[in-house]
Structure 1
């Protein structure tokens, strides 16, 4: 099924893609691979979800932040490619979770993004190799940062 049709079926409206906040490109296409730079949880009002999992955020709030991050990543893909239907598959996802030393639920947090991509691109094309890591700091105190590699049609 078309990813664009699936978005409509799921009632998902993509946000405006985030603008770079440093010297980098949000997406680079090399051959048939799309490399997405780290994205954070940007809310519609342009503020970011900040916090530390295990301290002032629970898994559900982290999951929501990761899903919001995934929506921004989809917006970057769509803006650059013209259509999400040009995505062949998600290859690799790297999720970073700002958390306390004792927090060990990083995979459950990053599932917010992983489940979104699965729902949009399907069980095979939308599920990739993945790493979910904890860290003590992320830019601006954001709760999660996620980057991805997609195979695309160019």
Structure 2
């Protein structure tokens, strides 16, 4: 099953690809690698999920924010490539979690994005090298920011 059909089967609809809020490109292709800039958790009404894990957000809310971020990343891929079926595999995922000092569940939060990509692209192509880091601040107070590198057909 192709990635776009799998996304529909899972009951997800991609939002419009987010627009840059600074001086950068949402995605840049070099050779056969697509580098996605950091994406945040944008809701369908175009507001961002803000908060701090371990203070005013729990792991479940952070997981949902990361999954929503993943959907935005997929929307960027689709808009830039024309189809998610041009994705060969996820190579690297970097997730940043805005959290309190004692919070240590960053991997569980970023699983919201990782599990989405696994479910859409499959175990082999959708699971990659990954880092999940905590930070005290992210732009606009967003709960998570995630960037990725994908191998794509060019």
Q: Which residue of 1 aligns with 2:120?
A: 120
Q: Which residue of 2 aligns with 1:29?
A: 29
Q: Which residue of 1 aligns with 2:54?
A: 54
Number of residue pairs matched?
A: 154
Report how far residue 80 of structure 1 moved.
0.4
Q: Which residue of 1 aligns with 2:92?
A: 92
Q: Which residue of 2 aligns with 1:131?
A: 131
CA separation in 2, counterparts of 1:70 and 1:92?
13
Structure 1's consecutive aligned runs of 4 or more residues displaced over 4 angstroms after TM superposition are none
Q: Please, what TM-score do these two structures have when normalized by structure 2? A: 0.99
Give deviations 1:74-125, integer Å, cap 9, x for gaps: 0000000000000000000000000000000000000000000000000000
Report how far residue 8 of structure 1 moved.
1.7
CA separation in 1, counterparts of 2:62 and 2:7?
22
Report how far residue 10 of structure 1 moved.
1.0
Q: Please, what TM-score do these two structures have when normalized by structure 1? A: 0.99
1:16 and 2:16 aligned? yes
Report how far residue 38 of structure 1 moved.
0.1
CA separation in 1, counterparts of 2:55 and 2:12?
30
| Residue segments in structure 1 that go unaligned for 5+ positions in a row | none
CA separation in 2, counterparts of 1:144 and 1:44?
17
| Residue segments in structure 2 that go unaligned for 5+ positions in a row | none
Report how far residue 2 of structure 1 moved.
0.8
Report how far residue 4 of structure 1 moved.
1.2
CA separation in 2, counterparts of 1:39 and 1:9?
24
CA separation in 2, counterparts of 1:69 and 1:92?
15
Report how far residue 62 of structure 1 moved.
0.2
